[in-house]
Amino acid sequence: MWINTLRWEACDNAGMSKHTLIDATKAESLMIGEAVQASTAGIVSRTLLQSPELRVVLFTFAEGQELTPHTSRRRALVQIVEGSCEFYFAEAWHTLEAGAFLHMPPDHLHAVKASFGTFTMLLTLGSEPALIPLSKPSGTIQLS
């Protein structure tokens, strides 16, 4: 059964809550494991960070939950934090386990299923700005 529960990719920033766990105007850290919230029969999403350049969302899927095939206008990075899932990308289903990192370019068809129990993933959506040449830094900074 396909459940189409999220349509954030269609609206990007329109109408989204401004509440995030990290303030986009400050440098701060967060323990991802402490931000995880789960439901026994659904998908829980929490926006960790949102700015004009990117959006970072933590998802926890209960076993059996899935998102239907969809695309996003934005570049997407997926990191599997806990558990494992089936992820449809590159025209096939793949099993992704904790530690897996997935890149999808804009408009790439994908879907996800929690087939093996509860799992948590971190989704980072980037903006697609015009290509700007990188300038050489004027000085060096040494971090120790």
The more confident residue out of 23 and 18 is 23
Domain assignment present for residue 21? The answer is no
Domain assignment present for residue 10? The answer is no
Domain assignment present for residue 38? The answer is no
**CATH code, domain with 62:** 2.60.120.10
Q: Are strands 110-113 and 66-70 parallel, antiparallel or unpaired?
A: antiparallel
Percent of the chain with pLDDT over 90: 60
Domain assignment present for residue 31? The answer is no
Region 105-130: mean pLDDT is 91
**Res 41: pLDDT:** 85
Number of structural domains the chain divides into: 1
The more confident residue out of 121 and 29 is 121
Lowest mean pLDDT among 6-15, 16-25, 29-38, 70-79: 6-15
CA distance 72 to 60: 19
**Res 32: pLDDT:** 86
CA distance 129 to 9: 17
What does the angle CA 59 – CA 61 – CA 63 come to, to the nearest 5 degrees? 165
Structural domain boundaries, residue 72: 47-128
Domain assignment present for residue 35? The answer is no
pLDDT classification of 2: cutoffs 50, 70, 90: very low
Domain assignment present for residue 24? The answer is no
What rounded mean pLDDT belongs to the chain? 82
Residue 22 burial (CB < 10 Å; 0-12/13-18/19+)? Answer: middle
Domain assignment present for residue 2? The answer is no
CA distance 110 to 69: 5
**Res 126: pLDDT:** 94
Q: Answer for the pair 3, 68: CB distance below 8 angstroms, yes or no.
A: yes
Q: How far is residue 65 from each of residues 6, 59, 70, measured CA to CA in Å?
A: 12, 11, 15
**Res 127: pLDDT:** 87
Condensed to tens digits (0 to 9), the pLDDT of residues 20-70 reads: 898 888 999 888 888 888 888 899 999 999 999 999 999 999 999 999 999
Strand partners for 104: 76
